[in-house]
């Protein structure tokens, strides 16, 4: 205890170490201890200074942001549009560009971006996607919108016809626009008295239902020139002309008889035309000659007796016939192959030969007709000498030509000449 007390006294009185303590080893330990204390103190000081510096930097940043917000607030109050490239006029222009009217009947531009079996999805820059149902994609019956040329990327004008109550999306239509254009086209065709072709799709007690320009129209039976039944005309194409076009009443009335009468003006009696057998009846065959239905009566097929027409002709056969007569009022055309036979019975034995020599035989037939008319006129002159017309050396009227008979003539009434 005396030694410990003496050491404490010496340290407190000036660190006077006794010689027993001041050895080299003890002095080295004391120096190391003192150095360690100094390093810890310095580290503590450096950390404190670093914290102070970070704290000051954050404070300055906060002050800078606060100042910026204050400046921005002042600009909003005093000059809200200063330095902005997007002006108020630009804003109104953008609103005008992308604004749309969703009222039913409004026409809008849109771009198709997807299609499926039910229809097409269209971007019309509205709040939601618009939809074009399959039934509204075309005025014609289609099974997929692509049949009407509706594919992704197509930009078209549509009309709004409704709104989907589940998601507020708009329902569009192309059919309505095409329907309006079709009525306009029908009015134009009626004004120009143009003949067109309609497809028969149905019938009722009063007549046929035919589609023209994508619109269903009515053809009264009284306006048919064809002698075929309604069932036989189903799915057939008919030449038609408009009689009445009334879009407000959705009334479209057409005439096949009028179309036939006008087209038959170009059919010369005695001329040879190519036709297609449409149907066979016990009394003859109906032949389509360029949209006009003519009757090749069994008695006009050959000079020889024909017991069964089916042994000579079949539906779909192509043949050459001569026009004997036509009734424009009733829309009926009489045809003959008998007049084209090089020798009687060729139509039964060798119809190919008949068709090969059809034009040649028709020319010969027309010459004989002209000669017969000349002889008839000469006989008439015998009873009218005051007419001043004389016969030439060949016994023919000088003014007689080889023109065809008048349109009102009926070649079927002219007797056959001996071969």
pLDDT at 393: 47
> Measured on CA atoms in the order 363, 227, 406, 289, is the torsion positive or negative?
negative
Radius of gyration of the chain (CA): 53
User: pTM score, two decimals?
Assistant: 0.46
Two structure tokens written together for 70: 């204050």
Phi-psi region of 388 (alpha: psi -120 to 50; beta: other; left: phi over 0): left
- 195: confidence class by pLDDT, cuts 50, 70, 90: confident
Tell me: the pLDDT tens digits for 160-170?
999 887 777 89
DSSP assigned state of 227: -
The fourth-level CATH superfamily of domain 267-365 is Nucleic acid-binding proteins (2.40.50.140)
Tell me: the pLDDT tens digits for 323-341?
888 776 666 788 999 999 9
Q: What is the CATH topology of the domain spanning 193-261? A: OB fold (Dihydrolipoamide Acetyltransferase, E2P) (2.40.50)
Q: What percent of the chain has pLDDT over 90?
A: 32
Domain ranges of the chain: 107-178, 193-261, 267-365
Query: How far, in Å, CA of 278 to CA of 288, rounded?
Result: 6
β-bridge mates for residue 131, sequence order: 121, 171
Q: What are phi and psi of 239, to 5 degrees?
A: -70, 130
Centre a 10 Å sphere on the Cβ of residue 356 and count the other Cβ atoms it contains.
13
Query: How far, in Å, CA of 394 to CA of 381, rounded?
Result: 16
Q: What percent of the chain has pLDDT over 70?
A: 68
Kindly report the CATH class assigned to 107-178. mainly beta
Q: Is the pLDDT of residue 409 over 50?
A: no
Given this chain, do its domains 107-178 and 267-365 carry the same CATH topology? yes
pLDDT at 242: 93
Of the candidates 371, 405, 363, 369, the one whose C-alpha atom is nearest the C-alpha of residue 391 is 371
């Amino acid at each position: 205890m005396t030694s410990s007390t003496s050491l404490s006294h010496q340290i407190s009185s000036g660190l006077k170490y006794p010689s027993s303590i001041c050895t080299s080893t003890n002095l080295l330990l004391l120096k190391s201890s003192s150095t360690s204390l100094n390093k810890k103190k310095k580290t503590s000081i450096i950390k404190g200074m670093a914290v102070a510096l970070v704290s000051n930097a954050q404070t300055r940043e906060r002050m800078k942001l606060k100042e910026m917000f204050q400046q921005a607030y002042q600009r909003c109050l005093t000059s809200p549009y200063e330095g902005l490239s997007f002006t108020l006029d630009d804003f109104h222009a953008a609103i005008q560009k992308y604004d749309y009217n969703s009222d039913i009947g409004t026409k809008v531009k849109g771009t198709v971006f997807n299609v499926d079996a039910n229809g097409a999805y269209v971007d019309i820059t509205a709040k939601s996607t618009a939809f074009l149902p399959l039934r509204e994609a075309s005025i014609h019956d289609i099974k997929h919108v692509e049949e009407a040329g509706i594919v992704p990327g197509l930009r078209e004008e549509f009309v709004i016809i409704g709104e989907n109550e589940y998601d507020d999306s708009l329902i569009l239509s192309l059919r309505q626009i095409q329907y309006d254009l079709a009525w306009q086209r029908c009015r134009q065709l009626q004004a120009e008295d143009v003949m067109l072709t309609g497809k028969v799709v149905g019938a009722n007690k009063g007549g046929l239902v035919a589609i023209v320009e994508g619109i269903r129209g009515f053809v009264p039976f009284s306006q048919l020139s064809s002698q075929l039944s309604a069932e036989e005309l189903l799915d057939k194409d008919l030449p038609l002309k408009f009689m009445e076009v009334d879009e407000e009443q959705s009334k479209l009335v057409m005439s096949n008889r009028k179309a036939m009468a006008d087209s038959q003006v170009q059919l010369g009696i005695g001329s040879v035309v190519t036709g297609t057998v449409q149907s066979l009846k016990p009394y003859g065959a109906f032949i389509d000659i360029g949209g006009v239905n003519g009757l090749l009566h069994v008695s006009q097929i050959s000079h020889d007796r024909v017991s069964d027409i089916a042994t000579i002709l079949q539906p779909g056969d192509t043949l050459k016939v001569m026009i004997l007569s036509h009734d424009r009022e009733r829309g009926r055309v009489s045809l003959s192959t008998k007049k084209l036979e090089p020798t009687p019975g060729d139509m039964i034995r060798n119809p190919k030969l008949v068709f090969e020599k059809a034009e040649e035989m028709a020319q010969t037939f027309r010459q004989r007709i002209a000669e017969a008319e000349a002889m008839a006129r000469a006989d008439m002159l015998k009873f009218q000498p005051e007419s001043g017309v004389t016969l030439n050396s060949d016994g023919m009227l000088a003014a007689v030509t080889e023109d065809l008979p008048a349109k009102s003539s009926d070649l079927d009434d002219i007797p056959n000449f001996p071969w």
